[in-house]
Amino acid sequence: MGEGTWTLDRALSAHTLAAALVCAGGGDRPPRGDRLQHLLTRLRTGETFTAALCGARIEASPDQVLVTREAGEFTRRPLPPLSLPPGEETVWDGRWALTAAAPGWRVVPAAGRMATLPKADRARLDALPRAARGGVPVLIRDGVTAPVLAGDDVKARSLVEERLALALDRMTHETHLESRAHGATLRNPLFSDADIIE
């Protein structure tokens, strides 16, 4: 679905579910053990539920299973605004790469700020599932109180899909990798030494 949100099949493996959750949540430690197994059982039995694990939210309804960032975490554990140095790619929340063209920009989550966005930006967010909207980054310019979504002044791209492809060994060519600013290296593979239930 883009923007770090996707739908899953209820019959997915524990490995795929763990990868989807840790990537959507922006973390680097996959879930395992009883909590992962319990979630997998609920999916396989066809249960309708909403749960959170690893910073991700999973909404299982009769017709789809939606996975996205758990925006409620931003209320429980607020992130301080992150300054964006001009011309440098900056990773925010482990899920977004942002590059500002000029100084004075900071990034924060949309959660709690959506009503103050311009009408056109609210319409862009409305195209996303309701649960996904609060986890989208919004930008605040020094001296301006109202936030905006990324656009011409600040470019943003989701890292979630790339991270998931890497975690599931679906990236077959180095050319598929996005460039890294200032020689930053990729994170360690998510499942290099994890004890995942299969």
**For residue 79, pLDDT beyond 60:** yes
Distance, in Å, from the CA atom of 96 to the CA atom of 156, rounded to the nearest integer, reads 7
- The domain ranges of the chain are 74-158
Q: Of all helices (H) and strands (E), which one includes residue 109? A: strand 105-109
**C-beta neighbour count of 198 within 10 angstroms:** 5
Residue 65's closest CA among 52, 49, 78?
Answer: 49
pTM for the full predicted model? 0.82
More confident residue, 188 or 40: 40
If you average pLDDT over every residue of the chain, what do you get?
A: 85
pLDDT of res. 3: 77
